Structure 1
């Protein structure tokens, strides 16, 4: 059953995300074309959304990148106040860092402009399920709907179902959820090897300490949007990485 053809809606989303006729250098803004001032409407060039990342030779479930490099991936579970999320992205951009945001579908329904804001900053966008339920405890049909529901939102907003899928309320996906993600169009499931514990709101100093005490080359760090302590912790985290000769890149850059 798991290897049966995907639903027409999910298949359509995947095909649209890989449209060979799409210009990868210029995607129209969701707000439509802007006037050039001469009476002509011209498309607004924005960064194209990436299709799901596929890396032959890597495991289906990825916890970290190469340990012999100088890069790390800061990955953010995507939900929360858009002003706080934007402030965090600005801090990353000020330091020349790129991050990966795994967005929750119902958050994208509430804050559709955030999808493009993330991509236009040079960051990476992925799927963190539709409603952030305990996906590994759900029946197969419900778990699949959680994955494809968010994928459809991403595709509508960006032209891609997102670079990565990360399961909700768990560090690692079960074999069933991994297979469902592959059926939905994601070759890999993105886990992590370092939990910042920022979702517990321990304060900026504690988040900074947790990350910098354990981070190393190839680390995939789990963080969250929507937490003031995380926003405050990000500049010293990025400074600490720089002092160690490490740089924050998108997860795709980390593993490829």
Structure 2
């Protein structure tokens, strides 16, 4: 038997086939052929709208903190908060592991990213922000910025700022000079001109970049930390990742909360 197709819309509706306007009626096919009844129709598929793409967390811009110096080394000493700050470069797997551990324990940190690191791993900028952490500028190539000429130092600061802006919509919350605890007067001025009201320094150096072992990193931080401290750490060292759980556990025991630098000063 030949399967015959008709596009007689009125006949299809009279037959009760339930076809949509302009539909196609198939007759004489399958078991309905001998009964004279219209062939059953396939239900039309309803396409659900594509889910809306999640809006990324807005990247905060730098802000001025009245009463704070141009170069900030610690926060208020009368509140139970500390800021764990991380120089951002190295193995991205270690960075993700450290961020995940901090988040699991309810801690928020500050990452000062090197621009060349962001060039290689651009997705980490959004990963940091979406975890609720601060993200800042640690120069483009992590050179000794205080020793550079004015033009080269400016390029180091603005180069990283430009990458942060492109990736997140902001130049980052903070600037920290590379290979220096504090900025020279020239670098401080260039950072301000680039849009950073403050230079972020620190009052505790974990020395994790010397690879002393996790126990030594933990001991150095916990021996010196107090309310308002800003601690210098690094993302790219296994010792730091291994030390973080014990550091956070002891901070909790002392009722010192690990917060972003913005929260520390707010």
- Does TM, normalized by the shorter one, top 0.5? yes
In the alignment, the residues of structure 2 paired with residue 38 and residue 237 of structure 1 have an alpha-carbon distance, to the nearest angstrom, of 48
Q: Post-superposition shift, 1:40?
A: 3.5
Partner of 1:173: 183
Partner of 2:152: 142
Matched, 1:239 2:249: yes
- Summarize the alignment of residues 1-256 of structure 1 with structure 2, pairs less than 5 Å apart: 38-40=48-50, 42-256=52-266
In the alignment, the residues of structure 1 paired with residue 225 and residue 191 of structure 2 have an alpha-carbon distance, to the nearest angstrom, of 28
Q: Post-superposition shift, 1:57?
A: 1.6
Deviation larger for 52-61 or 40-49? 40-49
Q: Post-superposition shift, 1:153?
A: 0.4
Q: Post-superposition shift, 1:48?
A: 1.0
Q: CA RMSD in A?
A: 1.0
How many residue pairs get aligned? The number is 220
In the alignment, the residues of structure 1 paired with residue 192 and residue 172 of structure 2 have an alpha-carbon distance, to the nearest angstrom, of 13
Larger radius of gyration: 2
In the alignment, the residues of structure 2 paired with residue 97 and residue 189 of structure 1 have an alpha-carbon distance, to the nearest angstrom, of 23
In the alignment, the residues of structure 2 paired with residue 103 and residue 63 of structure 1 have an alpha-carbon distance, to the nearest angstrom, of 18
In the alignment, the residues of structure 1 paired with residue 151 and residue 265 of structure 2 have an alpha-carbon distance, to the nearest angstrom, of 31
Q: Which runs of 5+ in 1 are unaligned?
A: 1-36
In the alignment, the residues of structure 2 paired with residue 68 and residue 197 of structure 1 have an alpha-carbon distance, to the nearest angstrom, of 26
In the alignment, the residues of structure 1 paired with residue 245 and residue 55 of structure 2 have an alpha-carbon distance, to the nearest angstrom, of 29
In the alignment, the residues of structure 1 paired with residue 208 and residue 171 of structure 2 have an alpha-carbon distance, to the nearest angstrom, of 27
In the alignment, the residues of structure 2 paired with residue 223 and residue 235 of structure 1 have an alpha-carbon distance, to the nearest angstrom, of 14
Deviation larger for 107-116 or 45-54? 45-54
Q: Post-superposition shift, 1:46?
A: 2.5
Q: Post-superposition shift, 1:41?
A: 5.9
In the alignment, the residues of structure 1 paired with residue 124 and residue 63 of structure 2 have an alpha-carbon distance, to the nearest angstrom, of 21
Q: Post-superposition shift, 1:68?
A: 0.6
Query: What does the per-residue CA deviation read over 1:178-214, in whole Å, with 9 as the maximum and x for residues that have no partner?
Result: 0000000000000000000000110000000000000
Q: Post-superposition shift, 1:39?
A: 3.8
Q: Post-superposition shift, 1:43?
A: 2.8
Q: Which runs of 5+ in 2 are unaligned?
A: 1-46
- Aligned structure 1 segments of 4 or more residues deviating by more than 6 angstroms: none
